[in-house]
């Protein structure tokens, strides 16, 4: 049991952050506006959650220009993906 709880990640215990990670797991990358559309949250809210995931090393950011407008792409890091999978496995075991 202790091992399981160890795999649960505090950073993912939030609906928006869980949503961000889920979406980034199945997409190569997503930009800010698509994430916002998917999760249906405000700019500020999304930005702060993304910042937290970035600080944890789960997500990386690439800034580009698209038609001279800044476009920020978000990627899940390898560590982020591994940790998220372990998090899901832990949840599955806890439910059983």
Partner 1 sequence: MDKKKYLDDLHAIKYMMERSSRFISLSGTSGILAGIFALIASFIAYITVYIKPENMGYLNTDLSQESKFIIMTIAAATLLLTLGAGIIFTSKKARKDNQKLWDRQSRRLLINLLIPLVTGGIFCMILLLKGFIGLIAPATLIFYGLALVNASKYTLSEIRSLGMIEIMTGLFASYFVGFGIFFWSIGFGILHIIYGIYMQRKYGS
**Residue whose pair of structure tokens reads 């998220």 in the numeric block:** 84
User: Contact at 8 Å (CB) between 8 and 91?
Assistant: yes
Single residue of 6, 37, 45, 62 touching partner 1 by CB under 8 A = 37
Antiparallel, parallel or unpaired: β 69-76 and 30-31? antiparallel
Nearer to partner 1, 1 or 70 (CB): 1
Q: Tell me, what DSSP letter sits at residue 45?
A: H
Q: Which stretch binds partner 1 (CB under 8 A): 27-35, 45-53, 61-69, 74-82?
A: 27-35
* 41 contributes a contact to partner 1 by CB under 8 A: no
**Whole-number Å distance between alpha carbons of 79 and 63:** 21
Binding residues for partner 1, rule: CB under 8 A, are 15, 18-19, 22-23, 25-27, 30, 34, 37-39, 88, 91-92, 94-95
């Amino acid at each position: 049991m202790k091992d399981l709880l160890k795999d649960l990640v505090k950073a993912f215990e939030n609906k928006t952050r869980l949503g961000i990670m889920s979406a980034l797991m199945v997409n190569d990358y997503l930009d800010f506006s698509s994430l916002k559309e998917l999760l249906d949250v405000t700019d500020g809210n999304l930005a702060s959650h993304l910042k937290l995931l970035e600080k944890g090393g789960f997500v990386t950011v690439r800034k580009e220009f698209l038609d001279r407008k800044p476009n920020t792409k978000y990627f899940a890091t390898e560590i982020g993906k591994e940790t998220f999978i372990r998090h899901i496995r832990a949840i599955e075991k806890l439910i059983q």
